[in-house]
Amino acid sequence: MSWYRNLYPPKVPLALRPEHITEFQVALELKPHDDPRAARKSPRDYVVRDADGITQFTASGWSFNGMECREIRDSSGLPLFELHHKARAFKHSWDVTLPGARDKPLISAHVKTGLNKFEFPVTVENAVVGGGCKKVTLQVHPVGPADIKFFVTVDNRKIMAFLRDVFKPGNLTTKPYPDVRSGWEAVIAPDVDLSLATIVLIMISDWIRGGM
């Protein structure tokens, strides 16, 4: 993969679930999950696989009264987190909690866009002991105007890189086909929790679509 450059581990390991911290640079693939009840991809389900095609995480969701929630599960089906999303005008916001613990967010994030303006901070309660401050703020950065490439930094270090799939072989188009959720490639630096990277990528993917 030649589309990413210069990823570095954070100064302090970064995790919501320390057991999912990677020791090496890792490539993941986020794909829409096939819905056997529908002729197209399910708009609310994702599966995350490693380079060997082994499922690492899944995400499913529901929408009610302007609120959206996704449940993030590990490869065994164990619920790890709930990802709550609100959209209002040009602002999207998210909270991530443990299942059933809505009032205790582990992540708070929002995105604001405007003329020559893009803000996408992601504040994380770092579960790794040591290293001083427990709250860490990541910054999501778009690369170019087409919402195809993003990287994520902490303390000015690039720790994650995300690329939307090429939708037609040999043709990098900026819009997905109707009713089909885009897949992504991801590269994550060492000392980063893969479940955290998965959550950040789902936020970006849902924001591009305007929600679930």
Question: Domain range holding 159?
Answer: 18-209
* Per-residue model confidence as pLDDT tens digits over 157-212: 999 999 988 554 443 444 444 445 678 999 999 999 999 999 999 999 888 876 55
Residue 155 lies in a domain: yes
Structure tokens at 84: 């709550």
- pLDDT value at position 83? 95
pLDDT average, residue stretch 92-113: 90
Degrees, nearest 5: CA angle 80-85-88: 170
Of all residues in the chain, what percent carry a pLDDT higher than 70? 78
**What's the structural domain count of the chain?**
1
Residue 38 lies in a domain: yes
Residue, of 73 and 65, whose pLDDT is higher: 73
For the purposes of burial, counting CB atoms within 10 Å of the CB of 202, is it exposed (0-12), middle (13-18) or buried (19 or more)? buried
Residue 3 lies in a domain: no
* Per-residue model confidence as pLDDT tens digits over 92-102: 899 999 998 88
pTM for this structure? Answer: 0.87
Residue 41 lies in a domain: yes
Residue, of 145 and 42, whose pLDDT is higher: 145
